[in-house]
Structure formats: C-alpha cells, structure tokens
Amino acid sequence: MEDAKPDWLLQMEGILEALNEGVMILDDCNRMLFVNDLLAQMTGYRQGEIVGRTPAQFYEGEDRGFLMQQIARGEEQGRNRFGFYLPRKEGERLPVVISARVIEDPDGRRFSVVTFTDITEQKRAEQRLKDANTQLEKRQKEMETELALAARVQQSLAPQGLRWGRVAVETHYMPVRTIGGDFGLVIPLGEAQLNLLVCDVSGHGIGSALVANRIYSETMSLLERRTALGEMLRRLNRFVLQQIRMTDFYFTMAVARLDQGGRRLSYAGGGHPPAIWVSPTGETRLLESQSMVLGALEDAVAPEPIQEIEFRPGDRLVLYTDGLTEVFDSRGEMLGVSGLQEIIRAAMKKPLPEMKQSILDGVEAWRDGGHTDDISLVLVEHH
C-alpha cells in the first residue's frame, strides 16, 4: 500500500502524524490510503488493519447509509462537517466531529482529507448538564407544588367579608407573587367586639410570607385575648425584635376595633398609611398612625397610640396597604393617599361591594404597567 501513495502524501506524513486530530486520506474510490497513528489509537485498530479499506466497511445499516450520504455531500460541495462516531475495535462508539475536504493533486486526481475530533469530554459535559437540568426541573416542580400549597394556606388567611349586626365588611387580597407579605383580619368576638386589621411586612415572596404568617398567628392570639390595641402593637413590636431578629426588616399595621353595636371605633396604626373614614355626606378624614413602623425600634409605639371616633350609621372606613397608593402612571406620578382618597370619595354612594370594585378599578386605571406590591383592602360600613 505504501507504493500506492502519491508523492505529496509521502511528503506530508510527518506533518499529519504530528497533528492532535485523527486524520484519514481517501482516494477517489473512498479507499483509505493513510491514517495517522492518533486515528488508529482512537479506533483501537492498527494502521495496517485500516489502510486499504473503505470507511463504509466499519459501519452497518442506517449508520453506513448516513456516512455515505455525508461523503457524497462532501464530494459535491468540496467540504463537509458533521457530528458522528468512530466505531472502536472493542465495539464501543467514540463520539467525534468529522470534517472532510476534497483536494486535487497536480495530476487532477481527487482526494478527501478527513479529520476526526474526539468530543468525548464535551459529550460527558453535555450529559452532566442534561442530568443537572433534569434535577433542576424536578426541584422546580417540587417548589411549584410547595408554593401552590403555601399560596392556598396563605389565601386561607386572607381577610373575609361578613355581616356583624348592623356592620358590613368587604375585603380584597392579592399578592404580587404566588405568596406575599400582606395579610388582613376580620375577627368578631361574639356580639361585643369586631376587630379589623391589615398588615404589610417589608419585602415580597417566600421570606416575607413566612414572617407574615408568624406575625399573623401572634396577632390572632392577642386579639382572641382581647388585648388593648396599644398593648397589642407593643407586644407585636417586641415579639418581632426578640423572636424574628432580622436586620433591615419592619412591618406596618393598621387595626380598628368596633364595639357597643358598632357605634364606637378605636383605631391604632404603626407606620401604616392612614385609614380613610367617610361620612354619608362625602366628608373624608384621614386616621393617621400615631406610632412608627414596627419591628425595628424598641420604642416604636407611641404612649397614646389610639384614636377614638363615633361610628355613626352610614359611616364607612377603609383600611388598605400601600399596594393601593404606591402606584404610578405613565408620567411617573404616584397616586398616593390623596389620589386614593378621591377615588373613595367618588365611589362612596355605591353599595359596599360595588364601592370596593370601583376602588380597585380606579387604582388600576391609574397604574401604568404590572403590579409591583401586594394589595390588602378592608371596607367597613355601619348600616
């Protein structure tokens, strides 16, 4: 076979042996005139077992058909590059990238120079990546299932509307993500007392939801023990400082308590946007928080944190979180408390359920873009 080699190939053998790729030279009948030592090592054959044969003799069935198709394409186009495999003597398959190029010698004979690049490590890396993606997808599905359960649990903690004697309550809750840091409470204690509350925990997502649920449980316990509103804020503030102990964390809260058949209303707020009281004549009044944000400072709660007002028939009260006020239009202007106050004033003569929807629609009409914060809303009316 050495005599069949053209002179140019004999002169090039030293260079071809020095390459870090497997190399094969085919004549115009697709017989292998030359393979370098690296290609022989890649296949597990000796060079003498390969030279003189055609590549098709090492492949079977559909693989042989594919290979011949690629060889024909290379001859037609002058070059070709494709991913395939090298059959090893032991029966294994070595993944490779095959590059073929057609050349002509000075006598006009056509030869194919074929190189083989071992991509075993690349394939292993791809498999590791595939396995990792499979694990990630599995974990993602587990997390989605867990989040769906958490969302159902948190939704069960959302405030619920009710009728309490001559008092009607409507509510709305919507987290910006699957779960959020807002919560609300509408808790009647027999016929003597009705508690209404909204709370906004800083941040969004799982961490805020977990903290919110913990504060929710502590708040429920304090309400059920009929703790005075000012003392309740102090205990919640102390509870978060001592038990949660997170830096750069705070929460705000607004709580109203109706008693004596709903005619007397006590209100306390800790760093929360003001509640909005509305009279049947259209007069509105802001009930500002007397205390600072909670969970950050020991003395956040004011010495006299409670405001008392007479809640007459026809009066309404709106508690909400800042997801309804920190809303921006296309010019970057924030709706704010004053803007929400105007929306409430425009909707005040509607029945309570329709008033709630008008408030939500009015805020949405102002908003440019999607929701960026959790929303809690509690509306109360004395009939």
142-155, pLDDT tens digit by residue?
Answer: 877 776 766 676 66
Distant-in-sequence, close-in-space partners of 334: CB < 8 Å, separation ≥ 6: 325, 326, 327, 328
> In 118-269, where does DSSP find H-type helix?
120-156, 205-224, 229-239
Q: Quick check: 69 pLDDT over 70?
A: yes
Half-sphere exposure of 189 (CA within 13 A, CB side): 18
Identify whether 106 is part of a domain: yes
Q: Which one of 58, 91, 118 terminates a domain?
A: 118
Closest CA to 169 of 8, 270, 317, 337: 317
Place of tokens 């395939």: 84
Question: What's the pLDDT at 361?
Answer: 97
Tell me how far CA of residue 190 lies from CA of 224, 229, 263, in angstroms. Answer: 11, 18, 16
Length of the chain in residues, anyone? 383
CA distance 314 to 316: 7
CA distance 209 to 86: 56
Please check whether residues 152 and 255 belong to one and the same domain.
Answer: no
Question: What's the pLDDT at 78?
Answer: 83
CA distance 227 to 204: 29
Please check whether residues 146 and 163 belong to one and the same domain.
Answer: no
Please check whether residues 292 and 169 belong to one and the same domain.
Answer: yes
Please check whether residues 258 and 366 belong to one and the same domain.
Answer: yes
CA distance 110 to 107: 9
**Greater confidence, 291 or 245?**
291
Q: Which whole number is the average pLDDT over 48-68?
A: 91
Please check whether residues 305 and 176 belong to one and the same domain.
Answer: yes
Question: What confidence tens digit (pLDDT) does each residue in 213-239 have?
Answer: 899 999 999 999 999 999 999 999 999
Q: Which one of 118, 145, 178 terminates a domain?
A: 118
User: Across the beta sheet with 22-26, what order do the strands follow?
Assistant: 32-35, 22-26, 110-118, 93-104, 79-87
Identify whether 345 is part of a domain: yes
Please name every residue paired with 115 in a beta bridge, in sequence order, or none if there are none. Answer: 23, 99
Please check whether residues 316 and 356 belong to one and the same domain.
Answer: yes
Question: What's the pLDDT at 169?
Answer: 97
Distant-in-sequence, close-in-space partners of 92: CB < 8 Å, separation ≥ 6: none
Question: What's the pLDDT at 178?
Answer: 66
Confidence of residue 3 (pLDDT cuts 50, 70, 90): very low
| Long-range contacts of the stretch 258-262 (C-beta < 8 A, 24+) | 258/164, 258/167, 258/193, 258/194, 258/196, 258/311, 258/380, 259/192, 259/193, 259/194, 261/165, 261/166, 262/164, 262/165, 262/166, 262/167, 262/194, 262/311, 262/382
Q: Which one of 99, 118, 137 terminates a domain?
A: 118
**Greater confidence, 197 or 176?**
197
Judge residue 26's burial from the number of C-beta atoms within 10 Å of its C-beta, 0-12 exposed, 13-18 middle, 19 or more buried: buried
- Residue 26: CATH number of its domain: 3.30.450.20
What does the block give as tokens for 75? 């001859």
Please check whether residues 169 and 97 belong to one and the same domain.
Answer: no
Please check whether residues 89 and 165 belong to one and the same domain.
Answer: no
Please check whether residues 268 and 358 belong to one and the same domain.
Answer: yes
Domain range for 94: 2-118
Whether the model clears a pTM of 0.85, i.e. scores above it, the answer is no
Q: Quick check: 47 pLDDT over 90?
A: yes
- Residue 359: CATH number of its domain: 3.60.40.10
Confidence of residue 2 (pLDDT cuts 50, 70, 90): very low
Chain-wide mean pLDDT for the chain? 90
Number of other residues whose CB lies within 10 A of the CB of residue 210: 16
Question: What's the pLDDT at 320?
Answer: 97
Please check whether residues 59 and 135 belong to one and the same domain.
Answer: no
Number of domains in the chain: 3
Please check whether residues 361 and 248 belong to one and the same domain.
Answer: yes
Distant-in-sequence, close-in-space partners of 170: CB < 8 Å, separation ≥ 6: 161, 352, 353, 355, 356, 378, 379
Q: Which whole number is the average pLDDT over 350-359?
A: 96
CA distance 211 to 152: 16
Place of tokens 């974990």: 139
Question: What's the pLDDT at 6?
Answer: 86
> In 269-380, where does DSSP find H-type helix?
336-347, 352-366
Q: Quick check: 358 pLDDT over 80?
A: yes
Query: Which range is least confidently modeled, 139-148, 150-159, 163-172?
Result: 150-159
Please check whether residues 132 and 244 belong to one and the same domain.
Answer: no
Question: What's the pLDDT at 70?
Answer: 87
Do residues 163 and 194 lie in contact, with contact meaning Cβ atoms separated by under 8 Å?
no
Identify whether 283 is part of a domain: yes
Confidence of residue 1 (pLDDT cuts 50, 70, 90): very low
Identify whether 123 is part of a domain: no
